[in-house]
Every structure is written in C-alpha cells, then in structure tokens.
Amino acid sequence: MRARTYVSLPGVSRARQCTAYILFIADEERSSSFDTVVDTGVTDFIRRPIDLDELLARVRAAVRLKSGVYVRALECGPIRIELGRLEAFHERTRLRLTPTEYRLVLLLAARAGHVVPRHEMFEVVLEGWGDASNLRYHVCKLRRKLKNAGFSGSIRAATGGYSLRLVGDA
C-alpha cells in the first residue's frame, strides 16, 4: 500500500480561487506527487536541490503568463541583472562575476533590503556545497567587485544571513 502525501496551505481552501502564483518547493526524498500538490492550490512545483536556472525559468514563465511580458532583467537600484545572458551591471559598468557571484547577486538583489537566510544561500548560491567560510569568501569578492564598480550600497551580514542594502535603506 502506497502512503499518501497531504499538503496544506495556510489560508487557502480548495474551493476558493487563488490568484497568487504559488511555487511549492519539495524535498527530494519526499514522494509528493504533482497532482496532490496542485490540488491544494499550488501553481507550480519544484524539487530540491534547487537548480537556479530552472527556478528563474519558472518565475519568468509565471510573470509572462500573468502579465504577457517577458522578464529579461532584474533591476535593483543601480544594479541590473540580465537574466537571459547571465550578466550583471552596475549602472553601465559590466560586473565580471563568476557563476557563483552571479547567483549571489541575483539572490540578494531579488530580496534587496531583506535578510536572505544562510541555509538558502548555501542551497542556491553554493548549490549545497561548501560551508560558512566559502560563503563569506564569495560575499567578500562580490562586495569588492561592487565597490570597484562604484556601488555605494552594501552587502551586510545579519543574524542568520546577508542582505543587500541600497543607499538610503535603513
């Protein structure tokens, strides 16, 4: 007999129409089926470990479906991240980033002003490899590259993670 997986979303009933895009992130070892998850009101489904390219593609597809517009770049103050070309710019200066630094700036810019938990950074940025010293190393390299390009904001260490602060953020 196969075990059933039950998924519940707080505040979302099966009978109620939900207009929000909900991306369910499932553990790799769990046997959650797509049908079970979608029946709860989830719009899309992805398994851990998270592949950043797949995650970005799913988010772009969701934005296209919702608005009819293709998202080509993420802008966060003076930082512009070209999603299709995997490039980042500070104003008009191209930042020469490693793939790890690109994933780091993308994650921080997408959540600018908010703390991104370290465990999420390990998973998305370091793809599950490395430790706190590896993460600090990449954060330091990215800080240096942003400063050299003239970025006046900062990447701040916070309890449990890091955040990207733009000029004028408290």
- Please report the pLDDT score of residue 13 as a whole number: 44
Nearest to 164 by CA among 133, 143, 145: 143
Peptide bond just before 49 cis, omega within 30 deg: yes
- Please report the pLDDT score of residue 139 as a whole number: 93
- pTM for the whole structure: 0.58
- Please report the pLDDT score of residue 142 as a whole number: 93
Q: What residue ranges define each of the domains in the chain, with the CATH number in brackets?
A: 18-48 (no CATH), 73-165 (1.10.10.10)
Provide mean pLDDT across the span 2-30: 52
Model confidence pLDDT, tens digit, residues 115-162: 988 888 888 888 778 788 889 999 999 999 999 988 888 899 988 899
